[in-house]
Structure 1
Amino acid sequence: MAVGRLGFGGLTWVMDRRLAFDMNTSRQGLQLRPRRIWCSKGQKLTEQLNTFTVDSYRRQLIGVTTSEVLCQNLIKTIHAGARVNYDESRLSDINLKYDGWIGTLNADFVGKPINKGEQLFTIYNPELVSAQDEYLSSIQRKDAGPYSLQKAARARLSRWDISSAEIRALAKRGKVSEYLPILAPQNGTIIEKNIVAGAAVKAGMRLLRLADLSKVWVEGEVYETELPWIKPGMTAEVSFPDMPEQTYTAEVSFIEPVLNTETRTATVRVELANPEGLLRPGMYARLNLQIDLGERFGVPEQAVIYAGEQRVVFVDLGEGRLQPRKIKTGLRNEDFIEVLEGLEPGDVVVTSGNFLIAAESKFKSGLAQW
């Protein structure tokens, strides 16, 4: 290669002996063709010398397409596998403060819907029978003072979770009930059942669990690298494989503060109304969260070649000339990568066929990693 300089205009010429590929000849008859390259003042010679030529016929065979580098609004979408779970704030456990025996059992199968105040089962306990008898006796003695036996007996029944309505019914009835009814504290569905009719139960034992399914949680697992983008209150879209035509919109209500050390994920939760009961706990779902990253300067994702830790694109200089150029990338989504350094507005880059072009060029431009 020979280099010369003219004294006017600050121009430099370079005699460049390079291989020119004539693809029309099916790669036969390669010619060594000297030519002069004129570089303006301040222009790097390497920017001119690193170019190579691919004729239009070969570009068509490879399927080369190009795109202009531009600014566009970058939307990052985070996809997370998710599952429908119970709303834990709408669960109720049914247990007793005393031992007893189950009588009539109305909550007789898992999945049965229950209304608030509906009888779940009846319970027998000899101490309860004695407490009722003591309360009725105090009423008959008309012992109603502030420190009366009647008040003490009533308080004893209350401490055993006998409702005020049942105590009033006992006073009106005037007769002890061997089996007292246990009522549902809320609307819900039986999701756990540990009793049968006639079973003996212990104090503190979980007998039933009710879940109000009118609202459910959808919880997704998000990788730690994506967690900084997610904030409580941001909008999320929920879809279900079993209901492809139906999507739900909700807000992020909770981000787990602790990371799962095995999966490197944290739970992100949204809450969905479920008045018709279509969303069943255990259903698989997909959580989609969109983050607006604003206007960004960049290229299509398929334009970038990954060379170890470096990122390379092919810039189309016109007249069949291409130039590999290292770039520094920033944010990205599925289709677009932000470019921080290496390109200018108006540059045209190759967006398809770039791997075949890389093989053709063999990077005689001097990029060491190729």
Structure 2
Amino acid sequence: MLVKKYQAIMLITIGMVLGILVTAFSYSRLTSKATEGTSTAAERKVLFWYDPMYPATKFDKPGPSPFMDMDLVPKYADEGSDEVAGVTISPTQVQNLGLRTDIAETGKLTYQQSLPANVNFNQYQYEIVHARASGFVEKSYPLAVGDYVKKGEPLVAITVSDWVSAQSEYLTLLRTNASPALLKGVLERLYLAGMPKSLINQLNKTKKIQSYLTIRAPISGVLTSFDLRSSMTMNKSALIATIQGIDPIWVVASVPESLTDLLTKDTQLTIEVPALPEQQFKITDWQILSNAQADTRTLSLRLFVANPDHKLKPGMSAIVKLQTETQDYVLVPSQAIINTGDEQRVITQDEQGRFIPKRIKIYAEASGKTAILSGLKAGEKIITSGLFLIDSEANINGALERMREQPADKTNQHNMTGHQGAH
């Protein structure tokens, strides 16, 4: 019995000793690892301190932030890479930020815009009517400014006394069988005196003096001036009327100079007139005028619009709607663009998961898409949300400075030439 009791006491004593030894060994190992971790942390090189809310400002000593109620955060040298102008963010942070990505793709940028416009006279159809001879107005037809006249319609009838003596001489020479040269000289004198060739031909045909002249409209159009009335006298330089055409009529719109490169032969143009909401109009041609308006930075877009029923009146307002497509460019969602005023950039993600800022050059933006001239290639993954935080981290990391030191990629540049219609 005593032996068994003694053996139990010995087992208990041995167990306690072993427990003490194991505890001592574990404590030694933990102390060693803690010391090693402290040594490793102490060996990390601090580049600078910064406030995460103002990452562009760097400090050479730790301490409280002058901007926020918080301490400055150290930036370690081993947190960034000098080889790649990018930053690495942990998967947990990526998930918390709710980052979304998209793929840059090649395509055409579709652009649509409505432009205010005005309806004008067709300046290519413009005639000034003179009598070309002094005379007396026998009759003025019932016309006034604003009336539409057709080609050949009579305007006024005049008597020209200066023609009588020359015609009488011509008929006398004709009866006496004068030489053809002499007869031709008299007819030339009549033509220079303002007698129309139609009346000269009538003189040869009827052998009667023609002193009564009816002046007719040379083109169809609107009378924009008409001042002669019956019983008035006039000289040969007197203005009888001016006529301006309205078929085709002109519709002129102001186009921002930044859009002129988008106007090509494939551009679709349509016209709407508020006064004629149900009417459709056919555009026969269009052209961009050569001069730009320096005060508005716009160019004039002139459209030639068929107007056979004369429903379009000069002075009306109109709306020109244009829809056009660019050549193929690298396209990205417009929300992926970071525009600082001095430069534009996007944040890309490479195959290793690093976020890399890239400086780009923008061509145009429309319908939520932006066309890129250079700096980005099709197929690259871009960040479309959470840009601010990644951009701030890139600024802290120095990635932005390294990006600016690299030459811009010019592999995606394209040139476009506009179209100008001729009339």
**TM-score surpassing 0.5?**
yes
Q: Choose from 381, 384, 387 the match for 1:350.
A: 384
Count, aligned residues: 338
State the partner residue of 2:104. Answer: 69
Pick closer, same or farther for the CA change 1:3–1:193 going to 2, 3 Å. farther
State the partner residue of 2:147. Answer: 112
**Residue 121 (structure 1) shift:** 0.5
**Residue 180 (structure 1) shift:** 1.8
1 CA distance for matches of 2:285 and 2:91? 51
Structure 2 residue 108 is matched with structure 1 residue 96: no
Q: Choose from 180, 183, 199 the match for 1:146.
A: 180
- Secondary structure (helix, strand or coil) at the match of 2:292 reads coil
Structure 2 residue 119 is matched with structure 1 residue 87: no
With normalisation by structure 2, the TM-score equals 0.61
Pick closer, same or farther for the CA change 1:324–1:249 going to 2, 3 Å. farther
Pick closer, same or farther for the CA change 1:160–1:333 going to 2, 3 Å. farther
- C-alpha RMSD of the superposition: 5.1
- Secondary structure (helix, strand or coil) at the match of 2:219 reads coil
State the partner residue of 1:269. Answer: 302
State the partner residue of 1:237. Answer: 269
Correspondences of 1:224-303 after superposition (within 5 Å): 224-230=257-263, 235-242=267-274, 243-244=276-277, 246=280, 248-252=282-286, 254-288=287-321, 290-303=323-336
- Secondary structure (helix, strand or coil) at the match of 2:326 reads strand
State the partner residue of 1:213. Answer: 246
Given residue 222 of structure 1, which amino acid in structure 2 is its aligned partner?
V
State the partner residue of 1:129. Answer: 164
Given residue 366 of structure 1, which amino acid in structure 2 is its aligned partner?
N
- Secondary structure (helix, strand or coil) at the match of 1:203 reads coil
2 CA distance for matches of 1:107 and 1:68? 72
Q: Choose from 336, 339, 343 the match for 1:306.
A: 339
Query: Which deviations, in whole Å up to 9, do the C-alpha atoms of 1:60-97 show, x marking residues without a partner?
Result: xxxx9865433322234576544333333322110132
Pick closer, same or farther for the CA change 1:342–1:271 going to 2, 3 Å. closer
**Residue 280 (structure 1) shift:** 2.6
**Residue 123 (structure 1) shift:** 1.7
Structure 2 residue 222 is matched with structure 1 residue 189: yes
Q: Choose from 392, 397, 410 the match for 1:363.
A: 392
1 CA distance for matches of 2:391 and 2:381? 22
Whether the aligned pair in 1 keeps the contact of 2:129 and 2:240 (CA below 8 Å) is: yes
1 CA distance for matches of 2:302 and 2:290? 12
Larger Rg: 2
Whether the aligned pair in 2 keeps the contact of 1:84 and 1:280 (CA below 8 Å) is: yes
Pick closer, same or farther for the CA change 1:153–1:248 going to 2, 3 Å. same
Query: Which deviations, in whole Å up to 9, do the C-alpha atoms of 1:187-227 show, x marking residues without a partner?
Result: 33323223233333333333211223222233333344444
Pick closer, same or farther for the CA change 1:307–1:138 going to 2, 3 Å. same
Given residue 207 of structure 1, which amino acid in structure 2 is its aligned partner?
I
With normalisation by structure 1, the TM-score equals 0.68
Whether the aligned pair in 1 keeps the contact of 2:166 and 2:190 (CA below 8 Å) is: yes
State the partner residue of 1:8. Answer: none
Unaligned residue ranges in structure 1 (runs of 5+): 5-17, 21-29, 31-37
Pick closer, same or farther for the CA change 1:349–1:256 going to 2, 3 Å. same
**Residue 108 (structure 1) shift:** 1.5
Whether the aligned pair in 2 keeps the contact of 1:235 and 1:249 (CA below 8 Å) is: no
Whether the aligned pair in 2 keeps the contact of 1:240 and 1:286 (CA below 8 Å) is: yes
Pick closer, same or farther for the CA change 1:198–1:262 going to 2, 3 Å. farther
More strand by share: 1
2 CA distance for matches of 1:48 and 1:247? 59
Given residue 334 of structure 1, which amino acid in structure 2 is its aligned partner?
A
**Residue 334 (structure 1) shift:** 1.7
1 CA distance for matches of 2:85 and 2:295? 52
Pick closer, same or farther for the CA change 1:132–1:103 going to 2, 3 Å. same
